[in-house]
Amino acid sequence: MKKILVCGAGGFIGGHLVRDLLRQGFTNIRAVDQKPFEAWYQRCDEVENLQLDLSRLDACDTAVNGAQIVYNLAADMGGMGFIELNKALCMLTVLINTHLLIAARKYGIERFFYASSACVYNADKQRDPNVTALKEEDAYPAMPEDGYGWEKLFSERMCRHFREDFGVQTRFARYHNVYGPHGTYDGGREKAPAAVCRKVIHAKLSGKHEIEIWGSGEQTRSFMYIDDCLKGTQMLLNSDWIEPLNIGSNELVSINQLVDIVEEIAGIKLARNYNLSAPKGVNGRNSDNTLIQKVFGWQPSTRLRDGMEKTYRWIFDEITQHRESGKAAVVNLS
């Protein structure tokens, strides 16, 4: 059985991917993350787990040696509050993909997947909350999210040129706001779905029935449940499609509507305080799924209400069980 390398396996998407591969019967898996094992969101003792800093070329050489399939989900990133205030850290992530590609070329990797982002899209096309869904060609002319988006767009080009010049079979997807259980929900790196869940839960538990919303709440997004992300990712890696591809839900909602959904799940109504000086990102962003439907006859389809209920229940359990530490417990799947 071919060895599969999952980079960023201690993170949200990477941890879910390792578990999903095991569920499908894959056992020859190497999971790598720079975080200490006790800080991994999910950890499986059935696989080879390594703690390595993949921004270093020697670490990437160790990680890739002996593998045939590489999933690069490793990045120094977070929600809008993190990426707007840590542009240099986000840019330094370019070292991870660069060194992994060098090692992939050296060892003749069969397939290499890179997780890009909808943050690569031209900002001029995202100024209106009533946004026209973004097609893959809308990344150019280039004007991506400063820092994080530029790193993602540059790394896409590097994947393309390693395929064209060196024959490394690269695939890359543009993720649109992936969410679900077993992810970050506090500490500054969390994204909107988890942050809203946390805020609503704290309001409910504390009895202080109010919530702070970053921006006007009118900014719009689509959010993709983790199960759809995993399916689309593996479908793309195993295909012959070599161009950029959106993997995201096209269910557009405002942040106010996202709060409505979580309030309904929690059975509570909160007074809303709008922090207009907080990071809020672009005014509108949605995924045009025309191309993925054409290529695969499929698109992410988990209803936001359904995915958010699962996410809310998990975060609620985490907060109530670990209120003293305020940190998510590591889930050992062995």
Cα separation, 69 vs 227, in Å, equals: 20
Q: Give the distance between the most distant pair of CA atoms in the chain.
A: 60
Closest C-alpha to 198, from 331, 302, 326, 15: 326
Q: Which two tokens stand for residue 152?
A: 């993602």
- Three-state SS string over 288-300 comes to CCHHHHHHHCCCC
Peptide linkage before 141 cis (omega within 30 of 0): yes
The DSSP bridge partners found for residue 320 are none
312 is catalytic: no
**Of 41, 114, 148, 225, which is the active-site residue?**
148
Q: What are phi and psi of 35, to 5 degrees?
A: -70, 150
Cα separation, 113 vs 273, in Å, equals: 41
Residues 6+ apart with CB under 8 A from 231: 298, 300
Element (H, E) at 114: strand 111-117
Task: Please give the positions annotated as active site.
Answer: 148
